[in-house]
Amino acid sequence: MARRFHPASEAEVRLVLQGITDLMSRTDGGPAEFAGHDPAAISVEYPHLVYDLSALEVLLGHSRAGAQLSSTRYLVLDGSESLAAVEVRTRQPDGSPFIANVNFGPFAVRFIDAVNDPSEVSGEGINFEVTLLRCSAIGVTAIWWQSSDPTLDRVRVIPPAPVGVDTATDYRFDTYMKLLQPLARNVINSTDATNGA
């Protein structure tokens, strides 16, 4: 399998580096995750597109078409250690990039682990782009291996996973969506019940 990441934007990389350097240079020391790290040693790598799905899109089966491109995400590293994940969006109408979100914690590390897993999805001669697929309403985030042929797409959930979803399995896209549909139904029914109360 050939694996590729989204091409990095020089302007976005500069923006992320400046934003992280500013955080690390705060007089209060900045986020605890940056303690003991030298801003000069920081690198910005693994650029990948982020797609968001609503619970309704999952339930209606519109998932591939309904996945909305929301940002480009970069991992902030010190050597091989992952410190943060930074999402960059484009401001309208001038098209300038801005930092939309900075996340700390285990997800960035788990993303790298899943991408580099030697048992990752296989397919001789197939070129996959590594993207992120998230459904916040259900509380699940996954690597979406996108191919030029959508029938070959695969999805691997980043831990923690909902009950019944295996983080060691590369699911076909449609199979993965079927696993999520009962969870999406529960979320929507719960929301409807709350709104009707």
What is the per-residue pLDDT for 124?
A: 59
The whole-angstrom separation of Cα 119 and Cα 35 is 34
For β-strands 140-146 and 127-135, DSSP reports them as antiparallel
The whole domain housing 54 covers 2-196
pLDDT tens, 43-72? Answer: 999 999 999 999 999 998 877 888 999 999
What pLDDT shows up at residue 108? Answer: 76
The tens digit of pLDDT for each residue in 89-135 reads 998 888 889 999 998 877 777 888 777 765 555 555 678 899 999 99
φ/ψ region of 64 (left if φ > 0, alpha if ψ in -120 to 50, else beta) reads alpha
Cα gap 158→77, rounded to integer Å: 19
Alpha-carbon distance values, 55 to 2, 7, 44 (Å): 31, 29, 32
Q: Which of 11, 157, 4 is nearest to 97 (CA)?
A: 11
Total of domains in the chain: 1
